[in-house]
Structure 1
Amino acid sequence: MVVILITGGARSGKSKRAESRARGFPGRPVYVATAEALDAEMEERIARHRVRRGTDWIEREVPLDLVPALVASDGGGARLVDCLTLWLSNLLHAERDWEHEVNALAATLLHLKSPVVLVTNEVGLGIVPDNALARSFRDAAGIMNQIIADVADEVEFVVAGLPMKLK
């Protein structure tokens, strides 16, 4: 089992890099999408991602229940989770215990057979947000990223489309 965490800023090339890494493993890759098409702009983003990926992926839409989806898809090709930051946002919006969910994900990743490539955003490099909700989200994302990076075999930081190996 291999766990790869790919992080970076918005439009840094994280997803493209993650797709390439997931395709590097044997078997048909599984794209685990955490985004929901709740408006026209998000529908457009999802459509662009699908066109770029092509049709060789098995797609799963998983806005909340990530751990069961990874367990159910284990034993086949690599799974690409895009992205943890949206998943965290979904958990917060659904008023679920995000810390419990993140720790359950970390524990599960240690026991899976098939590779998992996870995409997440690095949201802590900018200015301190001016409101409590945004600061709370930034802090939760930073904690989540640390927990998942700790169990990952590899961690990459992508800037301007260029990956830098951190772990």
Structure 2
Amino acid sequence: MTSPDLTFVLGGARSGKSAYAERLAAASGRPVTYIATARSADADPEFAARIAHHQACRPAHWTLVEADAALPQALRAADGEQHCVLVDCLTLWLAGLVCPVEGGEPPPSAAASRFDELEAALSGARGRVIVVSNEIGLGVVPLGSLTRHYVDELGRLNQRVARIAREVTLMVAGLPVAVKPGPTRP
């Protein structure tokens, strides 16, 4: 099943995926809700600077929703027929599921059940949805079981979203490469 108006934007770090997704959202001509998935970066000044950079790039009139594990619920709440929802990004959302700040190890099925919830929310969306994620599976198999688990889970999640998306774009050096071409956009 393909979602009616779901665009999936993938890429590596600093590939231009967020900027591209923001341009798509702005070009939609619809009210935009930006769902941020990054956790607070109080203890990490470099990550806090990354978040500040993303905040500065977004138009002030966009609605901001900060979602944690409840991304599917946030997506449903923001969705509307004449709205555009931009989720940035699945990579950080999954990190919160796999490596929770408090409470130790998540149950092994935590990610799978959340993937089902997210897929249902995306498949049922009535408006335009743009989802951003990192493509991190192009390198060597990482050392450490937790890192391998994370890479595997993100690969599974990306495949699920790509399968239901109408359009999939891979960002390479700031250039969009159509992986699953969708409708022509302005």
- Does the alignment reach a TM-score above 0.5? yes
Q: Distance in 2 between matches of 1:21 and 1:127?
A: 32
TM superposition score normalised by structure 2: 0.86
The alignment status of 1:101 with 2:114, answered yes or no, reads yes
2:168 counterpart residue number: 155
* Structural RMSD (CA): 1.2
User: How far does the alpha carbon of each residue in 1:32-64 deviate from its partner, in whole angstroms, 9 at most, with x for none?
Assistant: 000022222222111111111231211110021
1:128 counterpart residue number: 141
User: How far does the alpha carbon of each residue in 1:118-156 deviate from its partner, in whole angstroms, 9 at most, with x for none?
Assistant: 000001011111111111111111000001111111100
Which ranges in structure 2 are unaligned for 5 or more consecutive residues? Answer: 101-105, 181-186
The alignment status of 1:81 with 2:87, answered yes or no, reads yes
2:33 counterpart residue number: 30
TM superposition score normalised by structure 1: 0.95
Alpha carbons 2:39, 2:96 under 8 Å: kept: no
Which residue identity lines up with residue 85 of structure 1 in the other structure? T
Q: Distance in 1 between matches of 2:155 and 2:63?
A: 30
Alpha carbons 1:33, 1:81 under 8 Å: kept: yes
Post-superposition offset of 1:26: 2.8
Which ranges in structure 1 are unaligned for 5 or more consecutive residues? Answer: none
Q: Indicate the percent of aligned positions where both proteins have the same amino acid.
A: 41
Question: After the TM superposition, which parts of structure 1 deviate over 4 Å for at least 4 consecutive aligned residues?
Answer: none
| Between 18-27 and 115-124, the greater mean CA deviation after superposition | 18-27
Post-superposition offset of 1:3: 0.5
Which residue identity lines up with residue 103 of structure 1 in the other structure? D
